[in-house]
Structure 1
Amino acid sequence: MNLTLKPLREQVIVITGASSGIGLATARMAVEAGARVVLVARNEEALADIQRQLDAGDRLMYVVADVGKREELDRVASDTLDRFGGFDTWINNAGASVWGRLDEVDDEDHHRVMQTNYWGTLYGSTIAMAHLREKGGAIINIGSLESAVALPFHATYSASKHAIKALTEVMRVELQKSQAPISVTLVRPSSTDTLFMDHSKNRLPSAPIFPPPVYAPEVVAQAILYAAEHPQRDVYIGNTKFLTRLAQHAPGLTDWIKRTFIYDKLQSGKPDSDPQGALHNADVGNAIDGLVSGNYPGRTMKTSLYTRASQHPVATTAAVMLGALTLASLMTRRR
């Protein structure tokens, strides 16, 4: 079945985890494109400040909610219906994390990560399905490189992203079988320069740090909003597709790489100023919020050529052909 999605300027878009990082970058771009946007997060102070900054008038609203509680996401949907009459795209972006060796992380922390990441995505997806089943629209779930490649010290986060991948695939097939006009997309970011580390709880001896390459949040946001207009199954950011295939076809080699190189690179060697993060704090504790980018000390990639090529194959092919013809013309003239 061919699915047709509205242009962004005609859409109402719900974004969870919208108080910083990828969610906030997506919200900004959606507002700039003319969409009506619903911001969802736990931090009311940050949401109110973002609403003032974006200055989108009656095209923007926020709802304070913990995605790990179905009744609170039900309220998000209800408030959106009251304000905008419905929604067209639901983006399950909210995420939580704890870093530490598997046997040194408390059960309470494991549970909280799964409650936010997996159950939050499950609740959001089923609520969105119920609303979109007749009218159509898009459900976009944020997976990760870790949907396929689990990282040391990140067992539960990796497990939650594996689970989100499975949930997304089952949902897609079931909706296709019932011919529901809903596009279901899994976006798989690589390392991204957000406040993710600031918000994570940390049990490692030093502050965790993502291995390079690290991408700007706007790279992911652009890919998300493209999928909100153009139905796609999977969207890989940066090197995620290559590493996913490597894990699938050479698991032993992948384990060796993680054991030999990644294991130590995930620890910065610098003290963590707030090891408690925002895992259990509704007010995000001492962790900052309301910002798109984090404090990654290295180079941040501003574009992903692979993502752009996969989402715009015709334009990319034309550009490559034009480049080849130009080069051939120059070579001919030199002769």
Structure 2
Amino acid sequence: MNHQLKPVSDQVIVITGASSGIGLATALAAARQGARLVLAARNGSALADAERRVREAGGEAVHIVADVGRRSDLEAVAQAALERFGGFDTWVNNAGVSIWGKLVDVSDEDHRKLFETNFWGVVYGSTIAVEHLRQRGGALVNVGSVASDMALPIQGMYAASKHAVKGFTDALRMELEADGAPVSVTLVKPTSIDTPFPRHARNYTGQEAKLPPPVYPPEEVARAILHAAAHPARDIYVGGAAKMMASMQKHAPGTMDWIGANVMVGQQLRDEPVGDPHGALHHAGQDGAVRGDQPGHVMGSSAYTRASLHPIVGAALFSAAGIAAAAWLSAGRQRH
């Protein structure tokens, strides 16, 4: 279906998880383009500060405290958008949290809470948004992960939740297409992003968490989200590493299993004791920051993602990426 989406400057955009990280970066980027925003998260003081920063950046905003794991909270977010702005044009399901720890060590309660946020939060937000967008058209943007396509050791349930988000998002897209609904549905799949995400995670390992390299800035995810708000897209990988790893998972799953078992665990842990093992799984965290404190190098941007958002340049890039992936896979098989 040929979806007609408004420019970001003419839109009202709802963003969950807007008090830090990707959500806050997206809100500020949208504000600079003149969008009106509805910001949702659990931390009221951080949301109030985010609203102030949006106004300073040239946008207009309203915030509402909400836990995405409760449908009634997200219904209140949609109602706030209707009352303040008369509706919304794009809904971004961004809120998410993780757990660092082996699956057998993590409590059922913590696993269940992660799914309430990462999966059911997307389900509630999507179904509420679609009910509204069917009438006026617009975009639904769900933030998945490269973990939607592959598994991660010591973040196993996080990966499972992102697999579930992918399955739900793909099925919803097909159903909307079958109904002829004027709603674009995009799944954004970032790789490691420098946000407070590791500090917000529940941590069973005894060591501070970090993200496996390469790591990209949150502004690159914001760019992808806002592109999807104005230009229909099925999937957008953020970071060339995300596309590369997804391709390896598809074509050489055994090699990826070996990498996961022998490399990925160490790449996700710092050599220092964990400060707050509870994180923000069950309650609001210390929000307000776009960037995290990832050790090591953080990429300035993603040439792959920026090119992928441009059809002509992207086609050439995909061809080159395919050749590079084939060479990497060949080398990986030889090592394995």
Indicate whether the TM-score tops 0.5.
yes
Which position in structure 2 is the counterpart of 1:170? Answer: 171
Which position in structure 2 is the counterpart of 1:248? Answer: 250
Q: Is the 2:24–2:290 Cα contact (8 Å) retained in structure 1?
A: yes
How many pairs does the alignment contain? 315
TM-score (norm 2): 0.91
Equivalent-residue separation in structure 2 for 1:133 and 1:50 (angstroms)? 29
The offset of 1:55, in angstroms, is: 2.3
Which position in structure 1 is the counterpart of 2:264? Answer: 262
Equivalent-residue separation in structure 1 for 2:222 and 2:266 (angstroms)? 30
The offset of 1:54, in angstroms, is: 2.7
Q: Is the 2:194–2:218 Cα contact (8 Å) retained in structure 1?
A: yes
Equivalent-residue separation in structure 2 for 1:143 and 1:272 (angstroms)? 26
RMSD across aligned C-alpha pairs, in angstroms?
Answer: 1.5
Amino acid across the alignment from 1:257? I
Which position in structure 1 is the counterpart of 2:300? Answer: 302
Q: Is the 2:30–2:59 Cα contact (8 Å) retained in structure 1?
A: no
Amino acid across the alignment from 2:4? T
- Could you list the per-position Cα deviations for residues 292-328 of structure 1 after superposition, in whole angstroms to 9, with x for gaps in the alignment? 0000121111211111111112356799xxxxxxxxx
Q: Is the 2:31–2:59 Cα contact (8 Å) retained in structure 1?
A: no
- Could you list the per-position Cα deviations for residues 55-86 of structure 1 after superposition, in whole angstroms to 9, with x for gaps in the alignment? 25882110100000000100000111011000
Equivalent-residue separation in structure 2 for 1:143 and 1:216 (angstroms)? 16
Amino acid across the alignment from 2:216? Y
Amino acid across the alignment from 1:134? Q
- The alignment partner of 1:215 has SS state of coil
- Could you list the per-position Cα deviations for residues 120-146 of structure 1 after superposition, in whole angstroms to 9, with x for gaps in the alignment? 000000000100012100000000010
- Could you list the per-position Cα deviations for residues 140-178 of structure 1 after superposition, in whole angstroms to 9, with x for gaps in the alignment? 000001001111011111100000000010000000011
Which position in structure 2 is the counterpart of 1:228? Answer: 229
- Could you list the per-position Cα deviations for residues 155-209 of structure 1 after superposition, in whole angstroms to 9, with x for gaps in the alignment? 1111000000000100000000111010000000000000001111100021121
Which position in structure 2 is the counterpart of 1:275? Answer: 277
Equivalent-residue separation in structure 2 for 1:100 and 1:69 (angstroms)? 26
The offset of 1:94, in angstroms, is: 0.1
Q: Judging changes above 3 Å, is the alpha-carbon distance between structure 1 residues 27 and 58 closer, same or farther for their aligned structure 2 residues?
A: closer
- Could you list the per-position Cα deviations for residues 260-289 of structure 1 after superposition, in whole angstroms to 9, with x for gaps in the alignment? 11122222121111111111114x2xxx21
- The alignment partner of 2:273 has SS state of coil
Which position in structure 1 is the counterpart of 2:156? Answer: 155
Matches within 5 A, 1:97-176: 97-176=98-177
Which position in structure 2 is the counterpart of 1:331? Answer: none
Q: Judging changes above 3 Å, is the alpha-carbon distance between structure 1 residues 316 and 150 closer, same or farther for their aligned structure 2 residues?
A: closer
Amino acid across the alignment from 2:250? Q
Which position in structure 2 is the counterpart of 1:16? Answer: 16
Equivalent-residue separation in structure 2 for 1:225 and 1:268 (angstroms)? 33
Q: Is the 1:188–1:235 Cα contact (8 Å) retained in structure 2?
A: yes
- Pairing 1:313–2:311 present: yes
Equivalent-residue separation in structure 2 for 1:58 and 1:318 (angstroms)? 36
Which position in structure 2 is the counterpart of 1:4? Answer: 4
- The alignment partner of 2:140 has SS state of strand
Q: Is the 2:238–2:302 Cα contact (8 Å) retained in structure 1?
A: yes
Equivalent-residue separation in structure 2 for 1:81 and 1:99 (angstroms)? 38
Q: Is the 2:213–2:267 Cα contact (8 Å) retained in structure 1?
A: no
Amino acid across the alignment from 1:253? T
Q: Judging changes above 3 Å, is the alpha-carbon distance between structure 1 residues 316 and 120 closer, same or farther for their aligned structure 2 residues?
A: closer
